Structure 1
Amino acid sequence: MEREEVMKKSKLLLALLVLCLMLPASLATAYQNPRPLSNEWPTYGSGDPYILKYKGVYYLYVSTKDSEIGIKAWSSTDLVNWTYAGLVATDPITKAAYAPEVIYWNGYFYMYTSPGGGGHYVLRSESPTGPFTIQTPNKGLTIDGHVFIDDDGQWYFYRAAHGQMVAHRMSDPYTFGPGFNTGATVNGGWTEGATVVKRNGKYYMTYTGNHVHSPAYRVDYAVSDNPLTGFVPVQNQNPVLISTEGPTIGLGHNGLVTGPDLDSMYMFYHDWKGYTPEGWPIRSINMDRVAWNGDKMIVLGPTTTSQPDPALPAFQDRFNRTAIGSSWTNVNGGTWGIYNQELMWQDTLGTTTAYKQITNAATASNYTAEFHAKQMARGTSASPRYGATFSYVDENNYGVAMLSSKNNRLETNIVIGGVSQGWVNAALPAGYDYSKWHNIRVEKSGNTFKIYVDNMLKVTRSANLGGGKVGYLTEDTHADFAYVAFSNQAGGSSDWDAYKPIPGKIEAVHYMSGGEGVGYHDLTPANLGGQYRSDAVDIRVNPEGGYNVGWNQTGEWLKYRVNVAAAGAYDVTFRMATTMNGVGIRLWDGATALTGVVSIPNTGGWDAWRSITVTNIPMTQGLRELRVEFVTGEADFASMEFHTHAAVPSLTDNFNDNNSDGWKRWEGNWSVSGGQYHSAGGTFAKTTFGNDNWANYTVEADIRMNEAGGDAGIIVRGTNPADGLERAQGNADFLQGYYAYIKTDGVYLGKQNYNWSNLAGFTTPLAINTWHKMKVVVNGTNIKVYVNDMTTPKLDYNDYSPTAFTHGKIGLRTAYKNTSFDNVILYP
């Protein structure tokens, strides 16, 4: 029996191994949304996620269930595997603690939370896992507080309001100045959950609206040159994250965090699953990658299929051992050791010799490195200091970034060929406590070095110094050193090799790295546009936002990494511009042509962008490398977007069975009687039918306006519908799609993208209490609208905008008009 049991176990293990080998490559080290956590609040889950990174470890904080006291936290080193850290705050004030956020400064962790949404308290701890204790009375300021610290050390506090996000300048962690309207708003309604990051001198704010219990809870973003005011919502991209139907809905209240590779960025957010027995929201944590194309932020999601785990650094050391070991080399001596398997120290004082520990591992030419250090004691020399060395080749070629408590500043120097390139220093905020842990970050792209202290950009300098080793050093200082890491990525370059999810959108400039013959083939020796990337691919500024690949010639190609959710047929839409006739491109997966030669029309100008869709192409599941080949002619290339292919059926609904099976009602008062589908009017109302992935089709309907006011018509290419009336949101445009409609004075076409845009109109009298036949034909980005005359369209409109909708279901809509519909017909 014992031998038989062993044999059974061996067979089971073999079967599991075979199963793993059969799984798509994307599942090798992958996560999948939504992501349950251990020890979540029972029946409540986890919502309003906030991630703090401290000394190479991530800490996740979430809202507290309304009936409970205490704030829970989890820790992770990779953003995937989370360990429950327990209750980090237990004060009775923390009952129903909403959206706790934690920021580290000068040895302390400050937590901001609004229990029950009734105003903010500030808590403090000396550890990210608590205990956090109350430091202030109720400060008010609504809910969802967020703190951002600028490069000059100035603190800002952001919080929710109706119709705006409000910002306050802070004089210390507990004191808030007057509020400013930032300009960020989700369609003028309740706006909450701000997160602010600074990138290349601009401030980016993500924020959420309009109600946490709505499937239409969604994320927008805005950009400003000022942390207090002037935030402009990015209309061509908002909502940047939304899903009202499917596996996850009600997505929002996000946080942004740098990935383990020190370069990538991830968005954490929650989805909404319904209600607890008490009526509180049930939520789960989700994570998707953020990619950047210049000043354009793209969320690679929402995803609900397996995605590759966040990349780890090329090198990292947590000093979790008893000896420094052979992976480091000492330079110039000093007394070095390991303490408590968590840090490295050097304690020799009395000399200005630069004692160094240098890694054996070396960076590539471009890299990002992260260091952590604190001062234990300083000597009496003129310049005691401690910190990091980078691009270290030898004692004649290296850079240093050092903290000087004596001068309260960051001091940097670069040495090339034994010659100092000059010390460049930057003051640090008053009251800086050097006996506490501080973070130094070095980003190197080309010859430019950006040096940060505690996420504040303090020094930018140029030098002709390549990559090299990294390490720690002291001069007349006893210092401790903790987590150190580097990645061979900088400035968002990791986006180029990230596997982009399909379905999804891929920026043309995000072709793979590796150079000529690997990531691309280009016939010119240099980047003719001189933008974004430093290889031979020609890139220029795109007036629609970000950058695009230009000057693409016959025989050139670009390669992209993708993660295909499932095997099957897909549609792809290319965003192109050209002044030439006869341009053709082709899409490949390895040696397999996914398309024939796709004809790209003459768009009439290099900035006259058009969207060209190819349908029903076969794709293989998993991690793939797609190649876009320029077969003939020349064209500029901005992006390609993939949808799951869905064949459009031929169907008719005359409602003679007196039901509306298959139609989903969102707002208004709909009913079926007398073989007709009725909207009672009095408000806006919509009902939808079909598949989000339908592309080109014709839909017809008979429409009778039963009163003079308002409008009524047909929805085409509709996605993400939601009830705009629930929870007092009062938004008529909870949909992404087109609305062709009639009024008593004519025929009109508009576009809904959680806002409204008028597109076209045709004036003609149309009687009430009379049946009018409407037909809408969508093909590519062309929309034709026929009313009564089925031969000549009243409207013939081309949506050339970057937000053109190419796929979606059909629907019926009314706005303040009692209307009857009949004989809805759909065909490809």
Structure 2
Amino acid sequence: MKKWRILFLSAALCFLMPSNMYAYNNPFNLSNSWHWSNSDFYGEGDPYILKFNGTYYLYVSTVDDSVGVKVWSSTNLVDWTYRGLCSTEAVTKAAYAPEVVYWNGQFYMYTSPGGGGHYVLSSPSPTGPFTLQTGNLGMGIDGNVFIDDDGKWYFYSTGSNTIAARPMTSPTTFGAPLSTGLSMAGWTEGSTTFKRDGKYYMTYTGNHVWSTAYRVDYATGSSPTVGFKPAADMNPVLINTEGSNVGLGHNSIIKGPDLDSDYIVYHSHASDGNTTYPGRKMNMDRIVWNGDKLLVQGPTTESQPNPEMPDFEDRFNRTSLGSNWTNVGGGTWGIYNQELMWQDTIGTASTYRQVTAVNSASDYTAEFNTKQMKQGSSENPVYGAVFSYTNENSYGVAVLNRNKNRLETNYVVEGVSQGWQYASLPTGYDYSKWHQIRVEKAGSSFTVYVDGMKKQTRTIDGLKGGKIGYTTTDVHADFGYTAFSNKVNGSSAWNSYKPLPGKIEAVHYMTGNEGTAYHDLSPVNLGGAYRNDAVDIRSSAAEGKNVVGWNQTGEWLKYRVNVAETGYYDLDVRLATTFNDASFRVWNETTDLTGVVSVSSSGEWENSTTASKKGLYLTAGNHELRFEFVKGEFDFSDMTFTPSESVTGLFDDFNDGNDSGWTRFEGNWSVIDGELDSAGSGMFAKSTIGKDTWADYTVESDIKLIDTSGDSGIMVRVNNPSNGKVLANNPDYVQGYYAFIKSNGVYLGKMNYGYKELASAPLSIASGTWQHMKVVTSGTTIKVYVDDMNTPKITYKDNSMNPFTHGKVGLRTMNNHTRFDNFRITP
């Protein structure tokens, strides 16, 4: 093959083939990181990413002793190029959490230098220079802007240990604050607000940036300002308090290059020996969706697949259109400055189109960027996007009309117009500036967005996929970044490699046909929910998401996974059934991982339970797992893989005079007379031991309450413990179960950076007397014994959406001076 033919084919393939050949690792190491003047590392705190005309721009907090805001750019969210200082205004010294919004040709930056009030800067370019537009506007730190579908603006920032919302009447004018009511039981900051399927979402962070327990929660609501409710069963969505990557928080959320996937971008502590200010580094993990559930596939530190690229994209970074575009109807088309395409013939009512040489799939997402240069005097000059184009008898168009300040859409099916429909655009819209049109096609539904505002959804039968492109009628227009992806509404999650350890939603099985991605004996989706193949899916009211149901013997589903490390894993499968003899099996390619696993009845179809299988051996790397329905019928919700390790038996009578091996957190711990003493009257304290990979075990200890108030006991399944006294005053900085005694009884609670009582039993317990407590964990069942080691005082099965099935053990006191002795762990 001649060299010129090889070069031509390589150039063509760059338009058509998504690239996922490489992988990234958290945290990111960026060039030109911020450093203190003494050269100590400061890094990339509070990362915010803006996408404009196909390119991503990253902005981060400025180190306290320097002036300026740095910016990086990327086309794939992984490879970042430093673009210099986008502002050198004096007020940008210690510019905290700069966020940038594009509107009507201007980029607006919101930042709170040193936390001393907000300023607004603006620029005609995402790389600056940003110049000052306002004085000090006050308001708490970490400003975030959300623009609703109706074009109304809202500003969010910290309030009094909460997130405050302010309606805006312009990019620089702010109304009175409204309390969203969202708080993380202390200082709360770093919010991000967005809208999905008509519901408002907010992620938010707390409590202190230098605490290892810095973490992210999310909430949903029907209003952009008030009435948000935390997603209690899902929170926190990001946390890690131990290991090399801790203190996760202050996130932004951005669409991936494939136009469909979502990514959460956040920072973690950077360990460089500077313990006072350890610095921060950027991280990124994927978000997937099931119903209205936001699920972060992370946090990860092992290699993850790069974000997928679109199936077609064009940046027009060449001198001629080339063979990837086809002209329809004439007009004068060309390339300007190797950065955009244009059409400049006006003075006629003729319609000109330029469409791609390649076709999208039937379902897809497409992005178009365009601006008007001039228009003629005809009755209806318009310009914009064409999609699902087969020929002049079958296509859809979404065009902008400056004269009438609106979006206009029409669909032609086999020569029959489906009629024009219109959606108004905000007053003062400047059509000479760049605007983005986004089209999402799912089945017969077409949804059109303009600059992120959802403007129309229409049901059109008879149109499938096709070419995309641009169209003009009596308008000279420029056209920027153009792309389509054969994914829509989060379907990119189906074929992606899900990180293990982690959770996999049952409905996120692979894309493909019967016998390849799934085997289903019914010809159609009996539940009619979520996906349009033969797999039976329904929406579960109890789960608040979609589940796979109506399974029959021999049916199966395939899932792609990315295993972080070779080793043993435990599997927890969440399901609901009224059958007493149901079972499943999981395969890794042709290897039977689990054998047949029996499933117990959950009693009702709207009550879920967890079935477990321990000790599955997986090797690092990408695999395809096959979930087989062996017998019976059950609603399959999700499966979670957790690293597992054999429990090591341990006995500590503290007669050696120390508590070596234990990790103390709050309180005043000491060993006195061969007993572990927590001098915690009026205080809270915890101490842990063991490994977070432990699953089932028995824990025992002698416990003596010295004070008459408060409580003390044993913690099991402990994860993400942190010191609640460091930069905070919170007794609940831990995840796990707490079995404890107090003067009037025995209690079991669930701790998840908050406390929820699960069960209790009356028992009179005198202070100053020894009690023997035993806690047995098995699957999702916890039994608590006090003194009588044969009959449990409490038996509790955690059927919640997120039971804790693995974790360390520990001791805890709450407002009670307590002695512990004869502590034992039995495998």
What range is the shorter-chain TM-score in?
Answer: over 0.9
Determine the structure 1 residue equivalent to 2:239.
242
For residue 362 of structure 1, give the secondary structure of its aligned residue in structure 2: coil
Q: Distance in 1 between matches of 2:502 and 2:166?
A: 37
Question: Cα–Cα, structure 1 residues 296 and 277, in superposed 2: closer, same or farther, change >3 Å?
Answer: closer
Q: 1:292 aligns with which of 279, 289, 293?
A: 289
Determine the structure 2 residue equivalent to 1:744.
743
Task: Please say if 1:404 is aligned against 2:397.
Answer: no
Quote the offset at 1:730 in angstroms. 2.1
Q: Is the 8 A contact 2:21 2:306 kept in 1?
A: no
Q: Is the 8 A contact 1:27 1:307 kept in 2?
A: no
In structure 1, the gaps of 5 or more residues are 1-25
Q: Is the 8 A contact 1:513 1:519 kept in 2?
A: yes
For residue 208 of structure 1, give the secondary structure of its aligned residue in structure 2: strand
Task: Please say if 1:62 is aligned against 2:94.
Answer: no
Letter in 2 for 1:817: N
Determine the structure 2 residue equivalent to 1:591.
590
Q: Is the 8 A contact 1:735 1:752 kept in 2?
A: yes
Q: Distance in 1 between matches of 2:800 and 2:76?
A: 39
Q: Is the 8 A contact 1:111 1:124 kept in 2?
A: yes
For residue 514 of structure 1, give the secondary structure of its aligned residue in structure 2: coil
1:344-383 equivalent positions in 2, closer than 5 A: 344-383=341-380
Q: Distance in 2 between matches of 1:189 and 1:45?
A: 26
For residue 549 of structure 2, give the secondary structure of its aligned residue in structure 1: strand
Determine the structure 2 residue equivalent to 1:37.
30
For residue 93 of structure 1, give the secondary structure of its aligned residue in structure 2: helix
For residue 44 of structure 1, give the secondary structure of its aligned residue in structure 2: strand
Determine the structure 2 residue equivalent to 1:108.
106
Determine the structure 1 residue equivalent to 2:7.
none
Once the two structures are superposed, residues 172-215 of structure 1 have per-residue CA deviations (whole angstroms, 9 ceiling, x without a partner) of 001111111113222x3211111111111011111101111111
Q: Distance in 2 between matches of 1:296 and 1:666?
A: 33
Determine the structure 2 residue equivalent to 1:8.
none
Q: 1:268 aligns with which of 265, 269, 279?
A: 265
Once the two structures are superposed, residues 309-361 of structure 1 have per-residue CA deviations (whole angstroms, 9 ceiling, x without a partner) of 00000000000000111111111111111110000111111111111111001
Determine the structure 2 residue equivalent to 1:798.
797
Quote the offset at 1:487 in angstroms. 0.1
Determine the structure 1 residue equivalent to 2:5.
none
Q: Distance in 2 between matches of 1:278 and 1:210?
A: 18
Determine the structure 1 residue equivalent to 2:3.
none
Letter in 1 for 2:504: I
Letter in 2 for 1:299: V
Determine the structure 1 residue equivalent to 2:438.
441
Q: 1:541 aligns with which of 539, 542, 563?
A: 539
Quote the offset at 1:280 in angstroms. 3.4
Q: Distance in 2 between matches of 1:518 and 1:89?
A: 53
Q: 2:382 aligns with which of 359, 382, 385?
A: 385
Letter in 2 for 1:250: G
Determine the structure 1 residue equivalent to 2:90.
92
Letter in 2 for 1:111: M
TM-score, structure 2 normalization: 0.96
Determine the structure 1 residue equivalent to 2:567.
568
Q: Is the 8 A contact 1:372 1:483 kept in 2?
A: yes
For residue 613 of structure 1, give the secondary structure of its aligned residue in structure 2: strand
Once the two structures are superposed, residues 275-314 of structure 1 have per-residue CA deviations (whole angstroms, 9 ceiling, x without a partner) of 8859434100000000000111100000000000000000
Letter in 2 for 1:798: K
Q: Distance in 2 between matches of 1:400 and 1:762?
A: 67
Q: Distance in 1 between matches of 2:181 and 2:611?
A: 35
Quote the offset at 1:803 in angstroms. 2.2
Determine the structure 2 residue equivalent to 1:691.
691
Q: Is the 8 A contact 2:266 2:284 kept in 1?
A: yes
Letter in 2 for 1:181: S
Determine the structure 2 residue equivalent to 1:772.
771
Determine the structure 1 residue equivalent to 2:733.
734
Q: Is the 8 A contact 1:386 1:403 kept in 2?
A: yes
Quote the offset at 1:130 in angstroms. 0.3
Q: Distance in 2 between matches of 1:144 and 1:418?
A: 53
Q: Is the 8 A contact 1:710 1:743 kept in 2?
A: yes
Q: Is the 8 A contact 1:655 1:675 kept in 2?
A: yes
Determine the structure 2 residue equivalent to 1:20.
none
Show structure 1 runs of 4+ deviating over 4 A. 274-278
Deviation larger for 680-689 or 255-264 = 680-689
Task: Please say if 1:450 is aligned against 2:450.
Answer: no
* Percent identity over paired residues: 60
Deviation larger for 767-776 or 303-312 = 767-776
1:601-640 equivalent positions in 2, closer than 5 A: 601-640=600-639
Q: Distance in 2 between matches of 1:243 and 1:354?
A: 57
For residue 509 of structure 1, give the secondary structure of its aligned residue in structure 2: coil
Letter in 1 for 2:347: G
Determine the structure 2 residue equivalent to 1:224.
221
Q: Distance in 2 between matches of 1:67 and 1:313?
A: 41
Q: Distance in 1 between matches of 2:194 and 2:447?
A: 16
Q: Distance in 2 between matches of 1:574 and 1:216?
A: 28
Q: Is the 8 A contact 1:107 1:436 kept in 2?
A: yes
Once the two structures are superposed, residues 619-639 of structure 1 have per-residue CA deviations (whole angstroms, 9 ceiling, x without a partner) of 121111111101111111101
Determine the structure 2 residue equivalent to 1:672.
671
Letter in 2 for 1:184: L
For residue 700 of structure 1, give the secondary structure of its aligned residue in structure 2: strand
Q: CA RMSD in A?
A: 1.2
Q: Is the 8 A contact 2:20 2:308 kept in 1?
A: no
Q: Distance in 1 between matches of 2:458 and 2:322?
A: 33
Letter in 1 for 2:458: R
Determine the structure 2 residue equivalent to 1:709.
709
Q: Is the 8 A contact 2:718 2:734 kept in 1?
A: yes
Q: Distance in 2 between matches of 1:559 and 1:812?
A: 42
Task: Please say if 1:76 is aligned against 2:74.
Answer: yes
Q: Is the 8 A contact 1:276 1:282 kept in 2?
A: no
Q: Distance in 2 between matches of 1:707 and 1:208?
A: 36
Once the two structures are superposed, residues 81-118 of structure 1 have per-residue CA deviations (whole angstroms, 9 ceiling, x without a partner) of 00001110111100000000000000000000000001
Determine the structure 2 residue equivalent to 1:483.
481
Q: 1:494 aligns with which of 492, 495, 498?
A: 492
TM-score, structure 1 normalization: 0.96
Once the two structures are superposed, residues 381-436 of structure 1 have per-residue CA deviations (whole angstroms, 9 ceiling, x without a partner) of 00111111000000111111111111111111111111211001111111111110
Q: 2:251 aligns with which of 245, 251, 254?
A: 254
Q: Distance in 1 between matches of 2:92 and 2:789?
A: 65
Deviation larger for 304-313 or 573-582 = 573-582
Question: Cα–Cα, structure 1 residues 130 and 119, in superposed 2: closer, same or farther, change >3 Å?
Answer: same
Quote the offset at 1:536 in angstroms. 1.2
For residue 229 of structure 1, give the secondary structure of its aligned residue in structure 2: coil
For residue 522 of structure 2, give the secondary structure of its aligned residue in structure 1: coil
Q: Is the 8 A contact 1:706 1:769 kept in 2?
A: yes
Quote the offset at 1:747 in angstroms. 1.2
Determine the structure 2 residue equivalent to 1:161.
159
Determine the structure 2 residue equivalent to 1:211.
208
Q: Is the 8 A contact 1:219 1:239 kept in 2?
A: yes
Letter in 2 for 1:33: N
Q: Distance in 1 between matches of 2:527 and 2:730?
A: 43
For residue 121 of structure 2, give the secondary structure of its aligned residue in structure 1: strand
In structure 2, the gaps of 5 or more residues are 1-18, 36-40
Q: Distance in 2 between matches of 1:467 and 1:562?
A: 29
Q: Is the 8 A contact 2:576 2:635 kept in 1?
A: yes
Task: Please say if 1:507 is aligned against 2:505.
Answer: yes
Q: Distance in 1 between matches of 2:223 and 2:273?
A: 41
Once the two structures are superposed, residues 701-758 of structure 1 have per-residue CA deviations (whole angstroms, 9 ceiling, x without a partner) of 111111111101000001011111221x322111110001111222111110111111
Q: Distance in 1 between matches of 2:631 and 2:416?
A: 53
Letter in 2 for 1:750: G
Q: Distance in 2 between matches of 1:280 and 1:819?
A: 35
